[in-house]
Amino acid sequence: MTNHTTDAARNPLLGHAISHGGTVIGLFAIVLWGFMAGLMRLAADAFGATLGAALVYTAGGVMLLLTRRPKPLSQAPRRYLLLGGIMFVTYEASISLSIGLATTAEQSVEVSLVNYLWPTLLVLFTAALSKRQGAVWQALPGAIIATVGVAMAVGGNSLDVQSALRNISSNPLPFILAFAGALIWAVYAAITPSMSGGYDGTTVFFCCVAVTQWVIHFISGDGMPAQAPGIGGYLALIACAVSIAGGYACWGYGMLHGNMETLAVGSYATPVFSTASSTLLLGVALGLPFWIGVVLVVTGSLLNVWFSRRARTKRVPGTTNAADAMDSAGAASTADRQ
């Protein structure tokens, strides 16, 4: 693939040109992640919640080691390895625990809604990092609209505000962990490209998550499944590992070489794809609230894209503002990540 770049298209965080191919690879992560929830549920049904997660991340770690062997750790900035690794592992642990601590199916839906606040936070953080005057305020309307769409698409008919408030007050820890995970991932996606120095830590971090999942499994005392899983369980496990590991690899590549603003806006599709694929994999019918949510997500995302394009057209001729650099850098940063 030929990457189309220009001298003016520079990433203000990394300082090199944007690759359009990098942006496409980053967006493909959203498609892969869309299958994660349904496949993880199938793997958990076959192997158990904690053992299933440990096996999935172990298989995914092996896949990444075979296909994306990391450079020597000595080449990685220490701050990136330390802060990036802690945020990556903490996010996964927070999300895993939040789902495991949810006591009912309804509460699981509500917890997932809290986790899906990360795209909104990412758009706002990316706007702030672009240093454009009024960028955050311009991104806010689209972020709010898309977040409402996420709530409708994921929650559907089961979402009830009063019930959610009762569940939060009676069992607050899952919601706290889910929000912490959303915040941590948004910060990770927004700031780690600037501290990575072009080093791709996805494989290293992913293997650390696998170790953490095994620790959680042994501490929980869940043990082995009572009944041996069938071939479908193993297929779900491998497919889920491909979905998660491949998604992280593509997303990490995109954040380093692709258009960060485009990836941030496109990230709103993650919960929509996740809900749609889960209904297909788990045999759940899609209702009208889902499609209304899709319309709102698309509307909010397009609104952010429109504001971003409008801001770039107003720049002074002959100069390169942060928005131009951010768009160009997003595509190029995906290439360094590979």
Residue (of 148, 159, 121) closest to 264 by Cα position: 121
Which of 127, 143, 132, 115 has its CA nearest to residue 260? 127
pLDDT, tens digit, for every residue of 290-302? 788 888 887 887 7
Burial of 327 (0-12, 13-18, 19+ CB in 10 A): buried
> Phi and psi at residue 77, in whole multiples of 5°?
-60, 135
Q: What pLDDT score does 329 carry?
A: 34
Confidence (pLDDT) at 314: 61
- Give the per-residue pLDDT at 156: 65
Any idea where the domains of the chain sit in the sequence?
A: 20-337
The span from the CA of 12 to the CA of 288, in Å, is 42
Using the predicted structure, report yes or no on whether residue 205 has a pLDDT greater than 60.
yes
Per-residue pLDDT for 194 more than 80?
Answer: yes
* Residues 324 and 9: beta-carbon distance below 8 Å: yes
Distance (Å, whole) CA 300 – CA 274:
18
Report the candidate in 289, 314, 317, 240 with the shortest Cα–Cα distance to residue 43: 240
Average pLDDT, rounded, for the chain: 79
- Output the 3-class SS for 290-302: HHHHHHHHHHHHH
Averaging pLDDT over each range in 34-48, 228-242, 293-307, which range is the top one?
Answer: 228-242
Give me the mean pLDDT over the 203-228 stretch.
Answer: 89
Cα(315)–Cα(291) distance, integer angstroms: 37
Are the CB atoms for 332 and 16 separated by under 8 Å?
yes
Task: Write the pLDDT tens digit of every residue in 81-122.
Answer: 999 999 999 998 888 788 777 776 666 777 777 888 888 888
Torsion of Cα atoms, 262 then 194 then 145 then 309, to 10°: -40
- Our measurement of the distance from residue 267's CA atom to the centroid of its chain's CA atoms, rounded to an integer in Å, reads 7
CA angle 222, 225, 228 (to 5 degrees): 165
Token reading at 51: 């053992």
Q: How sure is the predictor about 338, in pLDDT bands with cuts at 50, 70 and 90?
A: very low
pLDDT score of 313: 66
**How many other CB atoms sit within 10 Å of the CB of residue 137?**
10
**Hey, how many other C-beta atoms are within 10 angstroms of the C-beta on 256?**
32
The larger pLDDT score, comparing residue 325 to residue 158, is at: 158
Mean pLDDT of 36-55: 87
Amino acid at 296: L
Give the chain's length: 338
